């Protein structure tokens, strides 16, 4: 596992960016058009593409629930930003400072996309920063957080930790904890999952795993108690939140009676703070 190339996760960011287009999240359709996200999604999912539409509400639910928690902070650092428009949206508020981070190549692509959108819409974002970061490297992480003004910081992980082994999760959380103890704040994440192997959407999960080179089902927690114990040992108190949201993609794709969609609508986010 130590030879794993983390940039293999990048295509899954394009996959998710396609499914975000069925929501009302700003800029998602433009990002998908710039990157050719639908073509990438079709290539990844292959014969399972038509059965994968429940990924749209998953991507919308986790995005919006993270946003609700992040709105409580004026300093935000997003890990593995991928193709997310969150940084562009949040920095519309000049009082918010935002650092978008990712591995170098993926970050360069993201920055190019954001700057293209800024040019199209005649936007200026002096409060938006980009930092090339390997989130398993403490030095990288600290340099990125130092770009933000003083004060508590919300660190966001959406779709990153699910691809980390237990040992890598521990390293990542140690780096996060170091920043939060110094500055205050929290880690907001949708990546505490219990997606163990089953026949449910097995083909879709197999396709994603083949692309990423890792299977999130094998890297997930057994249940909430297992996750809380792991996080406590890593130095965190954890809160599970499921704020009510309007999930536009369910109506857009007519998924109201889809069992998979009903299940994913309940997916919470976790807010982690240094253990008291």
Q: pLDDT tens-digit profile of 222-238?
A: 899 999 999 999 999 99
**How far is it, in rounded angstroms, from Cα 78 to Cα 100?**
5
Nearest to 81 by CA among 10, 23, 173: 10
Name the H helices within 46-199: 55-70, 86-90, 104-120, 138-145, 166-183
Report pTM. 0.95
Question: How many CB atoms within 10 Å of residue 48?
Answer: 16
The angle formed by the CA atoms of residues 225, 227 and 228, to the nearest 5 degrees, is 65
List, in order, residues 6 or more apart from 257 with CB less than 8 Å away.
none
What residue ranges define each of the domains in the chain, with the CATH number in brackets? 6-274 (3.40.50.150)
pLDDT digits (tens, 9 = 90+) for 21-78: 999 999 999 999 999 999 999 999 999 999 999 999 999 999 999 999 999 999 999 9
SS3 state at 92: coil
């Amino acid at each position: 596992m130590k030879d794993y190339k983390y940039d293999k996760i990048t295509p899954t960011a394009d996959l998710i960016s396609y499914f975000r287009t069925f929501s009302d999240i700003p800029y998602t359709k433009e990002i998908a058009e710039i990157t050719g996200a639908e073509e990438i999604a079709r290539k990844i999912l292959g014969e399972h593409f038509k059965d994968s539409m429940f990924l749209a509400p998953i991507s919308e639910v986790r995005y919006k629930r993270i946003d609700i928690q992040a709105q409580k902070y004026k300093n935000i650092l997003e890990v593995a930003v991928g193709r997310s428009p969150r940084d562009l949206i949040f920095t519309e508020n000049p009082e918010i400072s935002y650092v978008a981070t990712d591995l170098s190549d993926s970050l360069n692509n993201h920055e190019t996309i954001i700057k293209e959108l800024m040019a199209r819409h005649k936007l200026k974002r002096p409060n938006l920063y980009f930092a090339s970061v390997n989130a398993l490297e403490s030095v990288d992480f600290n340099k990125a957080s130092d770009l933000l003004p003083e004060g508590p910081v919300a660190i966001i992980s959406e779709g990153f930790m699910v691809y980390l082994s237990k040992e890598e999760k521990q390293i990542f959380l140690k780096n996060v904890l170091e920043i939060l103890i110094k500055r205050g704040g929290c880690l907001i994440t949708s990546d505490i999952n219990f997606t163990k192997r089953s026949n449910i959407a097995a083909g879709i999960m197999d396709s994603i795993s083949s692309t990423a080179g890792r299977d999130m089902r094998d890297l997930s927690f057994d249940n909430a108690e297992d996750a809380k114990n792991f996080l406590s040992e890593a130095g965190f108190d954890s809160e599970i939140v499921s704020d009510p949201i309007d999930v536009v993609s369910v109506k857009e794709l007519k998924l109201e009676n889809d069992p998979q969609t009903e299940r994913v609508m309940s997916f919470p986010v976790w807010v982690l703070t240094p253990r008291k």
